[in-house]
Amino acid sequence: MIKNKINYSQRQYVIGSIFILVAIILLIKLFVIQIVDDSYKHSSNTNTLRYITQYPSRGKIYDRNGKLLVYNDAVYDLMIIPSQAKDIDTASFCKLLNINNSVYNTNLKKAKKYSNITPSIFISQITKEEYGRIAERLYHYPGFYFQTRSIRQYPMPIAAHTLGSIGEVTKPEMEKDSYYQLGDYIGKSGIEKFYEKELRGTKGLKITVVDVHNREKERFMDGAFDTLPKAGTDIILGLDADLQAYGEYLMAGKTGSIVAIEPTTGQILAMVTSPTYDPNELVGRKRGMRYNELLKDPEKPLINRAISGTYPPGSTFKMINGLVSLQSGVINANTAYPCNGPKSAPIKCTHFHGSPVRLYDAIENSCNPYFWQAFQDMMNSKRFENQKAAFKFWYDLVTSFGLGSAVKTDIPFTVSGNIPKMEYYDKVYHGVWNALTIRSLSIGQGEILVTPLQLANVAAAIGNEGYFYEPHYIRSFGNSDDSVSFEKHIINIDQRHFKDVKKGMQSVFEGEHGTAKWSKIPDITIGGKTGTAENPHGLDHSIFMAFAPVENPQIAIAVVVENAGFGSTWAAPIASLMIEKYIRGYVTRKNVEQRVLTTNENPR
Amino acid sequence: MRSKTIIGKIDIWLFIIYIALATIGLLSIYAAAFNEAHPHIYDFSQNYGKQLVFIGVSLVVGFIILLIDAKFFNAFAYVFYGLSIICLLLVLVVGSKISGSTSWIQLGPISFQPSEFAKFGTALALAHYLGKLDTDLTKFKTKVIAYGIVFVPVLLILAQGDAGSASVFIIFLLVLYREGMGGKILIIGLVAATLFIVSLCVSKWYIMISLAVIYAFFLMMINRTKKNILLVTGILIAACAFVFSVDFAFHHVLKPHQQTRINIILGKEHDTKGVGYNLNQSMIAIGSGGFSGKGYLKGTMTKYNFVPEQHTDFIFCTVGEESGFMGSFAVIALYLALVLRIIHLAERQRSPFSRIYGYGIACIFFFHFAINIGMTIGLVPVIGIPLPFLSYGGSSLLMFSIMVFVFLKQDANRMNIL
């Protein structure tokens, strides 16, 4: 068949030789590592290798001024390899560990169930003092050894919700990421959770030879196969630790929250929720027990009201309605509307002032009839095709302030609040509704719900005259000087309208009738707005939002004190104290501070 | 051959070697995954139980192949090849990601790797093409087509980011060599492989400069006829183009995590928990086996779940640790016997198709076992390719078995060909 072709069958020997040659090379290498080189060898009966995970130190967390917020402290885990734990004098061992026999048995059973040959934690987080005492005598008990771990420590007992905590990995977490092994720690909430990958670093491995007396004899092959742990990245937050501490101090005993934002960056300066807890409480062995106590606490200290509490914004929302009406062209800053005081319809006025009122006075006096009429005129304006088009115009601008949607940055679990959609009204009113039907919107009541974080962000956007950065915690990573930047949102409203509204907000402090004139700070200009959110479940919530200085805002703030009545009584003085503390560094108005701290008109 | 059934006609030695390797594989997987809670080897919730099922399925498929007409695989060689190319294209679209590369197709509970199938398809297509009477490997056109058959699947597998499986195809050069391709082909293959690795390690501009220097050197040394100058220049351009395309594929086709994996293999990045770590663990395990090993199921190293690919790509660790140098020697001897037996049988075929196909699968088995064992003992970079018949995994075991049984059938049928 192949006659007319040259026969290459001799080449089978070349190919066969290649096969044999390669097999010989493999065998030589195997001969070297299995027989010649002693270092790989160890009798499994006398010596064993112990793989000790080298835990990296978790990244530290600092505030914007370099103040340490979170660091690590060493503790020790007592490890067990069940197959090696033989001939243990249980009684003396339990005495050494200060545990009883049943604890010993359950822990041993648990470890055996996980694996007979891989190490697992027998007792976790033994303190340095105990460690010294136990380690000295541990050689009597083969199969047990210590592994160094670190726990989190908080030099200042503040910002528990923001910082979050770490805890042992759960099974689902291990399945999701193979990096984790049983007993590892993982960020469970807050910054610890969101920046887990950066903070955790990379584990290393130390291999040591252990003799039958449970003594670590030497590094296996002089550490040739060891890997060094890589420390986690430090994180610098936008938080101002002093301001945060001051805020928690002011809010002690009250229910509510404070959110302060740096308007030029969107970084969170302070996020206070009250009641709160000391982050040091959720550390170490007591974490589980303490966590359950906090969970059951009727005051719900685990809830971060700043991001998950939703409130009707009340009069603070008038700023947005004013801006939308101005932008629609239906009114200008000089448009005046009559106010009949308490006799006004359909919404009465709760303040006493002259009539008619223009924008600045309306803001200064928080005049309901003005904003209702402006809203009504916009809804009925011929500038829009119909009322639905007007509503859409209103809805689009309102939501562009970040209202009605959750924050998508490193602040986890933010809720979206609520800005009612057209479809909602169509459904509720079967398609028949007009400005009058939805009049509560004009004064920030009704279906509108915002979180304190969103409110602070609105203050930042107004202070900035038309833009804001998505609010976030982080300033920068420890290994880089560049700050982390987030998306800039530009609001489709002319800057001049913002200037008008800011002027009105400034008169809230400085005007004759200003609703916050008692909270004025000498030498610092503030623009703000009080709010009183009607609360169907009890006393109204006291709300305030502000920014300062008016010319180039360095801080934007929102304060909510639950069940505390008018915005001007509680929320406004607290906001003004926070602003003074941040801008000046100290507080001059001790009388205001004293009133906020001591007046026992609590919240509830 | 009058009354002998097909079973009586198959080469019993090859069959025994096959069964021996599959058995060693099953026992090793059992040892690697040995778990006191599930001590029965037929516990189908465990990997070894599943492997037992895979072996059973492979044998059933094998016997079906023995009953099929021997000419079937020659006649439908291009169909198999075409199907494997379609699968490779399909995996780029609907592939699911397992350990870094999208090289798996998921069909309900079954997942298989089209690149495994492509090896078989390519061996058949190459055998069919070169086995035709009028094929002459000294002709330029023939060479181009032969290369084309090999390189189309290589490019598609590279596109999946599975450089390990793609590298297997380089071994087909040995088959071409056996069928009369010039000896230069082996040298060219070697140079190409070297350039491939070097261009991943070193900036392409350094390589360009080096190539230019070598080029200048050659120009000085050779007899500067027009033909020679053209030839050397052509080689230079081809080499440069090759380096550029490798560089391009690395930076633009591969995803960052795949680049990291390659960088770790090449030692450019140090990885504490990944590939480098596996290798360290694997060498400690094999080295600690000593001369006679620690005894079956007594290996301590391999029991730690420190080698994540223990039952698949690093199954040889279990052999090395538990049965020592003796066991390793025996396994390597078995593989050598396997490939040499196949070559021996291939040479006695009357049909060129059967012979070339035999060489094809012998070379595939050879490459797999040499590279896989080589990587567990630190001789070659860690490339994720399985150890034939030993590694856990249904799709690879089935494919390797099909390759063997198709050849057994061809061999059993050799007397029927005039």
Q: What's residue B84's pLDDT?
A: 93
Q: What's residue B289's pLDDT?
A: 84
Check if the beta carbon of residue A414 is closer than 8 Å to that of residue A307: yes
- Are the Cβ atoms of A11 and B177 closer than 8 angstroms? yes
By Cβ distance, the residue of B303, B320, B373 closest to A34 is B320
By Cβ distance, the residue of A2, A34, A202 closest to B328 is A34
Q: What are phi and psi of A331, to 5 degrees?
A: -125, 165
Q: Is the pLDDT of residue A553 over 90?
A: yes
By Cβ distance, the residue of A15, A30, A42 closest to B377 is A30
Show Cβ contacts of residue A109 under 8 Å, excluding neighbours closer than 6 positions. Answer: none
Show Cβ contacts of residue B288 under 8 Å, excluding neighbours closer than 6 positions. Answer: A40, A41, A42, A44, B294, B300, B301, B321
Q: Is A298 exposed, middle or buried (0-12, 13-18, 19+ CB in 10 A)?
A: exposed
Q: What's residue B3's pLDDT?
A: 47
Query: How far apart, in Å, are the Cα atoms of A200 and each of A69, A72, A523?
Result: 16, 12, 46
Residue A311 DSSP label: B
Asked if B306 reaches chain A (Cβ–Cβ under 8 Å), the answer is: yes
Local confidence band at A368 (pLDDT 50, 70, 90 cut-offs): confident
Give per-residue pLDDT as tens, A443-474: 888 888 999 999 999 999 999 998 999 999 99
Q: What are phi and psi of B180, to 5 degrees?
A: 110, 0
- Are the Cβ atoms of B306 and A51 closer than 8 angstroms? yes
Mutate to test the interface with B, among A6, A34, A38 (most CBs of B within 10 A): A34
Listed in sequence order, the DSSP H helices in A316-428 are 318-328, 359-365, 368-379, 387-399, 422-428
Q: Is the pLDDT of residue B337 over 90?
A: yes
Where are chain B's structural domains? 6-183+271-416
What would the DSSP string read from start to end of A511-570?
STT-TTGGG-BTTB--EEEEEEE--TTSSPEEEEEEEESSSS-SEEEEEEETT---TTTT
Q: List A207's β-bridge partners, or say none.
A: A51
Q: What's residue A27's pLDDT?
A: 92
Residues 195-234 of B with CB under 8 A from A: none
Q: What's residue A555's pLDDT?
A: 94
B-chain residues within 8 Å CB-CB of A39? 287
Q: What is the CATH number of domain A48-237?
A: 3.90.1310.10
Show Cβ contacts of residue A221 under 8 Å, excluding neighbours closer than 6 positions. Answer: A39, A40, A207
Give per-residue pLDDT as tens, B56-76: 999 999 999 999 988 899 999
Q: Whole-angstrom Cα distance, residue A360 to residue B396?
A: 79
CA distance B308 to chain A (A): 10
Of A3-12, A484-493, A521-530, least confident by mean pLDDT is A3-12
Residue A310: CB atoms within 10 Å: 17
Q: Whole-angstrom Cα distance, residue A288 to residue B341?
A: 65
Q: Is the pLDDT of residue B401 over 90?
A: yes
Local confidence band at A261 (pLDDT 50, 70, 90 cut-offs): very high
- Are the Cβ atoms of B329 and A30 closer than 8 angstroms? yes
Show Cβ contacts of residue A161 under 8 Å, excluding neighbours closer than 6 positions. Answer: A189, A190, A271, A273, A276, A304, A306
| Chain A CA closest to residue B347 | A9
Give per-residue pLDDT as tens, B197-212: 677 666 777 788 888 8
- Are the Cβ atoms of B272 and A9 closer than 8 angstroms? no
Report the pLDDT averaged over residues B181-186.
73
Cα three-residue angle A376-A378-A379, rounded to 5 degrees:
65
Q: Whole-angstrom Cα distance, residue A399 to residue A392?
A: 10
Q: Is the pLDDT of residue A475 over 70?
A: yes
Percent of chain A with pLDDT over 70: 93
Q: What are phi and psi of A125, to 5 degrees?
A: 55, 60
Give per-residue pLDDT as tens, A413-442: 888 888 888 888 888 888 788 888 888 888
CA distance B286 to chain A (A): 7
Name the CATH code of domain A305-571 (choices 3.40.710.10, 3.30.1370.10, 3.40.50.10420, 3.40.50.1240).
Answer: 3.40.710.10
Residues 258-287 of B with CB under 8 A from A: 272-273, 277, 280-281, 283-284, 286-287
Local confidence band at A245 (pLDDT 50, 70, 90 cut-offs): very high
Asked if B97 reaches chain A (Cβ–Cβ under 8 Å), the answer is: no
By Cβ distance, the residue of A8, A23, A39 closest to B178 is A8
Mutate to test the interface with B, among A3, A20, A24, A33 (most CBs of B within 10 A): A33
Which pTM does this prediction carry?
0.60
